[in-house]
Amino acid sequence: MRQSPIKMPYMHLLVTGGAGFIGSNFIHYWLARHPEDRITNLDALTYAGNLENLRHVPQDRYTFIHGSICDSTLVHQAMEHVDIVVHFAAESHVDRSIEGSRVFLETNVIGTQVLLEEMRRRGLQIKRFHHVSTDEVFGSLKLDSSEKFSESTPYDPRSPYSASKAASDHVVRSYFHTYQLPITLSNCSNNYGPYHFPEKLIPLMITNAMRDMPLPVYGDGKNVRDWIHVEDHCAGIEAVLLKGKIGETYCLGGNAERHNLDVVNEILALTGKPDSLIKFVEDRKGHDLRYAIDSSKAKRELGWEPKKTFEQGLTETVMWYKENEHWWKPLLKT
């Protein structure tokens, strides 16, 4: 496999979905650490896309284009003079995919193909296409197992969301094998941190606790997730872009497996709220039992590993939500 290109003196990145949670954090992270680079952000601004996330980025090195990755004309415009594509744009909430899956297939699969086709037409202009994916494509692990997902784990998606992401992963790899496009992929565990839309577990529990509202916990709360702070995830993507091998996949985990109920209890402790706020609700359809990622390949080949402990990262996240009510309160339905 060819190695990643050496960092050029100046790079122009196209970030898709850059107004979302992970995408906006990546834009902040990259512009702060690569002051010579510029970023174009292509985002459709669906329910979780929020330009408030990017209010403080340096505008002289940042351009925003409003639109869908399924729009081939707009994608053609967005890729002008771009060196690297970092593809975050996706419909991403499992519950929403259960309620209606079509938009997940359209955005996550067709949108990815539109981006790859535009890159293919441009020949050697774009040096790298990095596809950001999820550990959910691998399915579910047993609660009492020590097994973890790795780059060699067979795919076994179990929700419309994870199936759409699995399909997009395969499409990306097909363009590497068929057209020799310079692609890399990463599959990450559950992210948390600033700018996280408050329907996901950690921000929902924090914002509900702060308002003395019930904290809904699926089933018995024993499902396990591996948590990675979004800044550590951004550092992992940076490592893949600068050091990763073309055609390779890297699993990025947080080494922080927790039962959902334990996460909720930690949030209650950090917010000083009683556990009487916990409300057990009917379990999610097809709820995966456990996710866990083995990041040893990323550590070995890229020198990357997560820096924040879960306790440190969760404390910082709770504090961020306490200090930024002006950001999350307008997003709430109730």
Active-site residue 248, yes or no?
no
**What is the Cα–Cα distance from 89 to 109, expressed in whole angstroms?**
11
Task: Identify whether 99 is a catalytic site residue.
Answer: no
Cβ-based burial of 129 (10 A; exposed 0-12, middle 13-18, buried ≥19):
buried
φ and ψ at 178, to 5 degrees? -80, -45
Of 118, 135, 226, 294, which residue is the catalytic one? 135
Annotation says 275 is catalytic: no
CB atoms closer than 10 angstroms to residue 334: 5
Q: Are strands 38-43 and 62-66 parallel, antiparallel or unpaired?
A: parallel
**Mean pLDDT on 22-29:** 98
- What is residue 181's three-state secondary structure? coil
Length of the chain: 334
Name which residue leads in pLDDT, 46 or 18: 18
Provide mean pLDDT across the span 265-269.
Answer: 98
- Which of 37, 91, 161, 250 is catalytic? The answer is 161
Average pLDDT, the chain: 94
Pairing of strands 224-229, 257-259: antiparallel
User: Would you state the pLDDT for residue 167?
Assistant: 97
Per-residue tokens: 67: 């639109």
End-to-end CA distance of the chain: 51
Residue 5 pLDDT greater than 60, yes or no: no
Tell me, what's the pLDDT at 92?
74
Q: What is the pLDDT of residues 69-117, one digit of tens each?
A: 999 999 999 999 999 999 999 887 677 777 778 888 899 999 999 999 9
- What is residue 243's predicted lDDT score, i.e. its pLDDT? 97
- Cα gap 200→192, rounded to integer Å: 9
Half-sphere exposure of 47 (CA within 13 A, CB side): 12
Three-state secondary-structure class, residue 86: strand
How far is the C-alpha of 331 from the C-alpha of 334, rounded, in Å? Answer: 9
Q: How many other CB atoms sit within 10 Å of the CB of residue 146?
A: 7
**Domains plus CATH for the chain?**
12-191+228-254+290-306 (3.40.50.720)
Whether residue 6 has pLDDT greater than 60: no
**What one-character DSSP code corresponds to residue 107?**
I
Separation CA 80–CA 252 (nearest Å) = 30
214-253 confidence digits (pLDDT tens) = 999 999 999 999 999 999 999 999 999 999 999 999 999 9
Please tell me which residue in 37, 91, 118, 136 is annotated as part of the active site.
Answer: 136
Among candidate residues 165, 192, 190, 197, the one with its CA nearest the CA of residue 49: 197
What is the DSSP code string of 43-79?
Answer: E---TT--GGGGTTS-GGGEEEEES-TT-HHHHHHHT
The confidence score (pLDDT) of residue 91 equals 84
Residue 142 φ then ψ, to 5°: -70, 145
If pLDDT is split at 50, 70 and 90, which confidence band does 1 have?
very low
pTM for the model stands at: 0.95
* Of 165, 203, 205, the residue nearest 185 (C-alpha): 165
Rg (C-alpha) for the chain, rounded Å, is 19
From 135, 27, 134, select the one nearest 84 (Cα to Cα).
27
The DSSP code sequence of 260-303 is: HHHHHHHHHHHHT--GGGEEEEPPPTT---B--B--HHHHHHH-
Which residue, among 55, 66, 61, has the nearest Cα to 31 in the 3D structure?
Answer: 61
Which two structure tokens, joined as six digits, stand for 208?
């509900």
